[in-house]
Amino acid sequence: MGGMKRPQARQLTAAPGAGQPDQDQPPDLGGLMVLVARGDHRAFELVYEKLAGPVYGVVRQVLRDPAQSEEIAQEVLLEVWRTASRFDPAKGSVAAWVMTMAHRRAVDRVRSENAGSRREQKAAVMLAEVEDVADVVAAALDHQRVRRCLDGLTGLQRESIELAYYGGYSYPEVAQLLGAALGTVKTRIRDGMIRMRDCLEVEW
């Protein structure tokens, strides 16, 4: 990610005491966000380390310009620190929430620059169309019924499907966000969609 610097990360040092994540366990983003919402600096450091690369990648796909991408990525991560208490796990994963925030900020930047390139303008239009389609789909589905079926999946299946079908990410992007092999993600999505289909048929 080049010379991107962690926003205020060096100043956000953890104070000793209870409530810090176990250093011997892999970081769980959901649990870390609870701690970040309480002002835990070490938890934010771990969230930052996990998501800084993917956030930059999402922003870079829209803006293309490295300097602007770094700027927006840092703004997004600082926004995560400031608004962690607003994260609602019932509405999706931490990764999906943060990546959606990154997408929107990048698109806002594109739209604010009328002198942007044709490629940037095209990206903004495409993202707007995706959001419109997502709104239509969400309105047509019974949220509670779908949520019950999603809750019946394994964690990796649910995360993969949410990012691919609700977040609009490609399979390689999902694999990068979850730190899993591409083949594993494809298999989990396929198996999860089969389980979702069977569950939704029963729910009907």
Of 197 and 96, the structure prediction assigns the larger pLDDT to 96
For residue 77, pLDDT over 60 is answered with yes
Of 143 and 204, the structure prediction assigns the larger pLDDT to 143
Q: b/e per residue, 102-127, with b = 16+ CB within 10 A? A: bbebbbebbeeeeebeeebeebbeeb
pLDDT at 110: 79
Which domains can be identified in the chain, with CATH numbers? 1-128 (1.10.1740.10), 141-204 (1.10.10.10)
Which whole number is the average pLDDT over 51-70?
90
Those residues with Cβ within 8 angstroms of residue 175's Cβ, 6 or more apart along the chain or in another chain: 181, 182, 184, 185
Of 4 and 68, the structure prediction assigns the larger pLDDT to 68
For residue range 153-163, what is the model confidence (pLDDT) as tens digits?
777 787 888 78
For residue 107, pLDDT over 80 is answered with yes
For residue 8, pLDDT over 50 is answered with no
Which whole number is the average pLDDT over 176-190?
83
Question: Torsion-angle region of residue 119: left (phi > 0), alpha (psi -120 to 50) or beta?
Answer: alpha
Q: Which of 99, 68, 71, 76 is nearest to 162 (CA)?
A: 99
What proportion of the chain, given as a percentage, has pLDDT over 70?
A: 68
Residue 66 near residue 72 (C-beta atoms within 8 A): no
Helix count and strand count (H, E) for the chain: 9, 0
pLDDT at 6: 52
For residue 95, pLDDT over 60 is answered with yes
